[in-house]
Amino acid sequence: MISIGHPLVLHNRLLLLNRNPSFFPSTTRRSPSFTIRSSSTVRERELGSELYASAPFPPIKAAKRVVLVRHGQSTWNEEGRIQGSSDFSVLTKKGEAQADTSRQVLIDDAFDICFSSPLIRSKRTAEIIWGAREDELITDSDLREIDLYSFQGLLKHEGKAKFGAAFRQWQLDAANFNIDGHYPVRELWARARSCWDKILAHESRSVLVVAHNAVNQALVATAIGLGTEYFRILLQSNCGVSVLDFTPQPEGGSPLICLNRLNQTPNSPIAASGGRKASERIILVCHGATQSSIEASVSNSGDLPMNMLGIIQSQKTAELLLDLKVSSLISSPKKACTETAMAISRVQEAADCLGADCVPRYQEMKQIEYLDVESILQQSNMDATEVSGHKSGWLNEYDDRITSTIWHQSEKAWQSLLSELSNDAEPEKIVVVVGHPAIHIALMGHCLNLTKDWMGSFHLDAGSISVIDFPDGPTGRGVIRCINYTAHLGRWSIPITRSIVDDENF
């Protein structure tokens, strides 16, 4: 366990080589260059104290999937009180209903164990989700919510009035926030890292963890190697579900870790539940399955149209986005992407007929060559069937030449999207981007100000959507509201959890 007094300095060389031995040079991958990265605008001299040096993760014997769930709405959530690790709030009726929805979503999974925060609001959520299962439910105090000391119990306006500058720092620079002689976010990161040692040490293949907003953020961040400056950047809504896959290394050492899903919520991901409100948003839509996507292989076989499943997926996505007025639609020029974009456009234009608006909606449609990565994937020596699109971290299977090309091209695409978000006087601007999962993974990497070496740490499925909010405008930090949301696909959705019988890689 890393103590609170451990030097809080992150260097990507230490982090990547300790956490992910796949980044050592091999026959197909060159040793990456390493730089200190930050998604924030904090000055470099302050940054050194807020980033975290993560110790290597313990080796595992078999693949492990960990499902994180935040508790349902609590009475203090409803009142707008600062909860922290206090234990005076309980689930509201809405919170109980949210927990029951999560129970139904996860009912078919054969979890081996459940770890829960001991706080009432979280433990009750865990009990509802766990239901009649006879397997073990363990409470762990390290999973309690962030300790906020004198802030706890205050309404937000009371915190602002009573603590002034400290409250402003909590809002604007939480990683360096200090109260009562403590740095709560730094302490939380250390505690989350300790939790992973216990979770991974347990002999289980499928693990449910029910906890809180801040601690779940810290668990996700420490797993994939992000420091404390990413606090409030990876959202966790009430009963939002996040999934992390841990894959053992043949030679031992720290497992490969991939964020398979972030914040799949009981309600629509575009409803903006939780987090700061944003008037600018980018929605990344992965095109529907193509004719080469049989048996879940990634398409690198050319410019192919969608198959019947892809057509259904695109229509379901268009229906989901009907709740928003889309400002512009941008897609890769590939057939599957343009077909998906057209499906979205047709539904938007029929908004009045469908009862979603009083008038039809018309949006500008564009194609950006920088979003075309299928042509790059075609340059790989691997056949499409060699790379499983359902396998976490599948981008790691491509050689460094391919991922580097995707990364550099995606940077140009990201800058184009930010310009698109900025060049309109609309009070709200929603840009929908349709492309291949690989380009969207890279775009999220640029949003988080990472390097290409993190691309294998994220996963997207065909037909999924991911949402990036810009509460401070397109020149500010992007906040990831959800990643790989597929619940809108109905019976064709990708399950949050899968059977792990005879399936080492899920």
Q: Is the dihedral of CA 218, 222, 224, 228 positive or negative?
A: positive
Half-sphere exposure of 394 (CA within 13 A, CB side): 24
Question: Binding residue per annotation — 74?
Answer: yes
The residue among 60, 114, 487, 443 whose CA lies nearest residue 268 is: 487
Instruction: Count Cα neighbours of 366 within 13 Å in the Cβ-side half-sphere.
Output: 15
121 is in an annotated binding site: yes
Q: How far apart are CA 284 and CA 483, in angstroms?
A: 9
71 is in an annotated binding site: yes
Beta strands in 320-363 (DSSP E): 328-331
212 included as an active-site residue: no
Q: Which token pair is 282?
A: 């980018």
Q: Which residues, in sequence order, are CB contacts of 65 under 8 Å at separation 6+?
A: 205, 206, 207, 243, 244, 245, 246, 260, 497, 498, 500, 506
C-beta separation of 135 from 115 below 8 A: no
Q: Which two tokens stand for residue 211?
A: 């906890």
Residue 261 backbone dihedrals phi, psi, to 5 degrees: -160, 145
Q: Are 490 and 244 in contact (CB under 8 A)?
A: no
The half-sphere exposure of 151 on its side-chain side, counting CA atoms within 13 A, is 30
Q: Is 77 annotated as a binding residue?
A: yes
Q: How far apart are CA 486 and CA 466, in angstroms?
A: 9
Q: Which residues contact 307 (CB under 8 A, 6 or more apart)?
A: 288, 289, 290, 291, 293, 294
Cα–Cα distance for residue pair 266/103, rounded to 1 Å? 10
Q: Is 176 annotated to bind ligand?
A: no
Question: Among 71, 212, 436, 459, which one carries the catalytic annotation?
Answer: 71
Concerning whether 96 is annotated as a catalytic residue, the answer is no
Q: Is 72 annotated as a binding residue?
A: yes
404 labeled binding residue: no
Q: What is the DSSP letter of 90?
A: -
List the alpha helices (DSSP H) in 1-133. Answer: 12-19, 44-50, 75-79, 93-106, 120-130
- Among residues 145, 229, 280, 374, the one annotated as catalytic is 145
454 in a known ligand binding site: no
Answer for the pair 468, 447: CB distance below 8 angstroms, yes or no: yes
Residue with tokens 């009083």: 358
- HEC profile of 422-474: HCCCCCCEEEEEEECHHHHHHHHHHHCCCCHHHHHHECCCCCCEEEEECCCCC
**Element (H or E) spanning 377, and its range?**
helix 374-377
- The whole-angstrom separation of Cα 502 and Cα 40 is 43
Residues at the binding site for substrate are 70-77, 121, 156
Residues at the binding site are 70-77, 121, 156
Active-site residues: which are they?
71, 145
